[in-house]
Amino acid sequence: MKPVKIPLEDHIDLHTFCPEEISGLLSEYFSECLKYGIFTVRVIHGKGRGFLKKGVLEILQKSPFVESFKDAPMEAGGWGATIVELKNTIS
């Protein structure tokens, strides 16, 4: 399968990805964000039944790139998105 190029922005929408791709995708995306000085990323996982959000939160809890995370404000997706603060340096 050919790699998909994703534009590097302060948000990423996970709707088009398979659940098994998300852990590696977020890790790579966060790494690239840090290289370009992006330290706050909105991860859009949608509302649905909450399965994708639960998986994303588990990934964020374990990620060495993540300083903190919280639900997005209502105007930025509410509980259908998560605001992630990335660490300035990886320890």
* Local structure of 64: helix, strand or coil: coil
Ramachandran region of residue 80, left (φ > 0), alpha (ψ -120 to 50) or beta?
A: alpha
CA distance 91 to 80: 30
Question: How confident is the model at residue 50, as a pLDDT?
Answer: 80
Question: How confident is the model at residue 4, as a pLDDT?
Answer: 63
Place of tokens 């290289």: 35
Question: How confident is the model at residue 48, as a pLDDT?
Answer: 83
Question: How confident is the model at residue 1, as a pLDDT?
Answer: 56
Question: How confident is the model at residue 90, as a pLDDT?
Answer: 55
CATH of domain 11-86: 3.30.1370.110
- pTM, two decimals, is 0.88
Question: Which residues of the chain are modeled with pLDDT < 50?
Answer: 91
